[in-house]
Amino acid sequence: MATDLRPSLPVVDHTPEPYNGPSRDEVLALRHQYLSPGIITYYREPLMVVEGHMQYVWDETGRRYLDAFAGIVSISVGHCHPKIVERVREQAGRLQHTTTIYLHPTIVEFAEKLAEKMPAGLTRSYFTNSGSEANEIAILSAREYTGNQDAIALRNGYHGGTSVPMALTAEGTWKFKSNNTTNIHHTHAGYCYRCPYGLEYPSCDLKCAHDVKNVIQYETPGEIACFIGEPIQGVGGAVTPPMEFFGIVYDIVREHGGLCIADEVQGGFGRTGHHYWSHQNWDVVPDMITMAKGIGNGAPLGAMTTTARISEVMKNRLHFNTFGGNPVSMTQGLATLEVIDEENIQQNALEVGTHLKAALEDLQNKHLLIGEVRGLGLMLGVELVRHRQTKEPAKSEAADVMERMKQRGVLIGKGGLYGNTLRIKPPMCLTKDDADYLVAMLDEVLTEIEAGHKKIQAG
Ligand SMILES: Cc1ncc(COP(=O)(O)O)c(C=O)c1O
């Protein structure tokens, strides 16, 4: 009898509940009828996900998928992590809602735990329901604190979908014409693979980082409120700058009166492996850190943490966030931080991430479609190009890779201005076996696509 030697998803000790809800087609039809068409789905045939356990999710037919995109980088320690579920259940049954106008223990316990993880001096947190709101508070605080208006962000960055974060975002695909927020400027990111000057690191002398000085001198009155940047760009496709990039930018920003904000919405909480915060990879200390996604393992939770001094400005006027700091989200956030420590999640991100990145780099030697593999820990990107010399973005191929990976039971994301970078940012409980399965499937998929594609050349 022939044995099937094809790799399969690692065994999991979890059986999904039978699904008895509306069919996928019914859900899709209702969605078309009742949801804003602006709410996008992935895949030609949108996937319905009805159950999750750690790094896996199940569709309504009981089929299992490796969730190598973690929702969208939101599941830090695993879907429905048992400890977190238990704590949230207990809290929801005891007190589901109160606001910050009353005292509650969990919000302060969570803030204390967060402060323990922060660089020295960053002790004061403002909790929100999303990363966009956290960034709104950060920019507002910087403007109040400095008395300056101008904020600078990085090209290819993403900071959210509300007004100011959308203006900070610098990928045209995510910007609406009608969102004309002023006093926001963009400087170059440390995107060496597509260097805007056509230079090479390190002989470039970090021209991209120094450009922030030109932006300040030409586009602002010379004194600015702040700079905000993702230490590794998430939506932009795991763009990882050279070591010195952020140090140079932070120095110039501070010389011009600005505060430095690290958007850790995707890179925080150990995801990049060596450090708890992704900015620590660059040896810089921000004045404010904004967070969301992985902070709450899927809870609608965001935060901005800053110094006592800067935080004082939020007393300038009345400010309130009805659901920010609610006991259920706080419980989920606190339990998530505990699990990250108890289960050595950061160490796992380092070990499995290093293993996975090395395997992806091996694939790069084999597949001409892979222009660059980048990122740290479990925040990885694989940029696909049609030609290694011209670096023509392989946009439709990236979409095709996603479809074919899904057929093989692996969910990944894509990003970058051209949507040609595969984004691999799984729950940080990913195992080496999961990583090996993912790479084996990507190898198969790229082989298939390259076989049918004459345009991909070595250059
Ligand atoms: C780096 C970064 N900042 C901010 C946000 C906005 O977060 P939210 O979607 O929770 O508003 C995102 C979302 O993807 C993000 O990736």
Using CA positions, which residue lies closest to atom 14 of ligand 1? 160
Q: Which pLDDT band holds residue 259 (cuts at 50, 70, 90)?
A: very high
> How far does residue 265's CA lie from ligand 1's centre (Å)?
6
Query: In angstroms, what CA-CA distances link 204 with 168, 198, 215, 246?
Result: 26, 9, 19, 15
Q: For residue 454, name the pLDDT band (cuts at 50, 70, 90).
A: low
HSE value, Cβ hemisphere, 13 Å, CA-based, for 116: 10
Q: By mean pLDDT, which of 184-188, 201-205, 411-415, 451-455 is the weakest? A: 451-455
CB atoms within 10 A of CB 275: 20
* Pocket of ligand 1 contains residue 263 by CB under 6 Å: yes
Whole-number Å distance between alpha carbons of 296 and 336: 6
Q: State the distance from the centre of ligand 1 to the C-alpha of 453, rounded, in angstroms.
A: 35
Can you tell me the mean pLDDT for 264-286? Answer: 98
User: Cα of 296 to ligand 1 centre, how many Å?
Assistant: 13
In ligand 1, the atom with minimum distance to the C-alpha of 160 is: 6
pLDDT at 459: 45
DSSP 207-253: HHHHHHHHHHHHHSSS--SEEEE-SSBTTTTSB---TTHHHHHHHHH
Is 130 touching ligand 1 by the criterion CB < 6 Å?
yes
**Cα separation, 394 vs 330, whole angstroms:** 42
- Does pLDDT of 457 surpass 90? no
For residues 273 and 353, is the Cβ–Cβ distance under 8 A?
yes
Q: In whole angstroms, how far apart are CA 74 and each of 134, 165, 180? A: 15, 18, 29
Q: What is the mean pLDDT of residues 252-263?
A: 99
Q: From the CA of 320, how far away is ligand 1's center (Å)? A: 21
Confidence at 452, pLDDT banded by 50, 70, 90: confident
Cα→Cα distances 282→249, 267, 414, Å? 11, 13, 25
Whether the model pTM is above 0.85 = yes
Query: Average pLDDT in the 361-366 region?
Result: 98
Distance of CA 362 from the midpoint of ligand 1 (Å):
31
Q: Which atom of ligand 1 is nearest to the CA of 133?
A: 11
Residue type, 12: V
Residue nearest to atom 2 of ligand 1 (CA): 159
Decide whether any atom of ligand 1 lies within 6 Å of the 292 Cβ.
yes
Give the pLDDT confidence score for residue 6 in this predicted structure: 82
Tens-digit pLDDT profile for residues 59-108: 999 999 999 999 999 999 999 999 999 999 999 999 999 999 999 999 99
Q: Is the CB of 233 under 6 A from ligand 1?
A: no
Which residue type is seen at 191? Y
pLDDT of residue 339 exceeding 80, the answer is yes
Ligand 1 centroid–CA 53 distance in Å is: 23
Whole-number pLDDT of residue 288: 98
Residues 6+ apart with CB under 8 A from 318: none
Q: Evaluate if residue 234 carries a pLDDT over 90.
A: yes
| Sign of the alpha-carbon dihedral angle for 448, 452, 453, 457 | positive
Strands 226-229 and 151-154, bridge-based pairing: parallel
- Measured from the Cα of 132, ligand 1's closest atom is 11
User: In a mutational test of the pocket of ligand 1, which residue from 74, 139, 158, 269 has the highest number of ligand atoms less than 8 Å from its CB?
Assistant: 158
Mean pLDDT along residues 376-398: 98
Indicate which atom in ligand 1 lies nearest the CA of residue 131.
Answer: 7
List Cα–Cα distances, 6 to 3, 64, 408, 444, in angstroms: 9, 17, 11, 11
Q: Quick one: pLDDT at residue 4?
A: 65
pLDDT at position 303 over 60: yes
Query: What is the predicted pLDDT for the residue at 5?
Result: 73
Q: Is the CB of 265 under 6 A from ligand 1?
A: yes
Q: Is the pLDDT of residue 456 over 60?
A: no
| Confidence at residue 47, expressed as pLDDT on a 0 to 100 scale | 98
Share of the chain above pLDDT 90, in %: 96
From 266, 414, 423, the mutation candidate for ligand 1 (largest count of ligand atoms within 8 A of CB) is 266
- Asked whether 158 lines ligand 1 (CB < 6 A), one says yes
CA of 6 to the centre of ligand 1 (A): 37
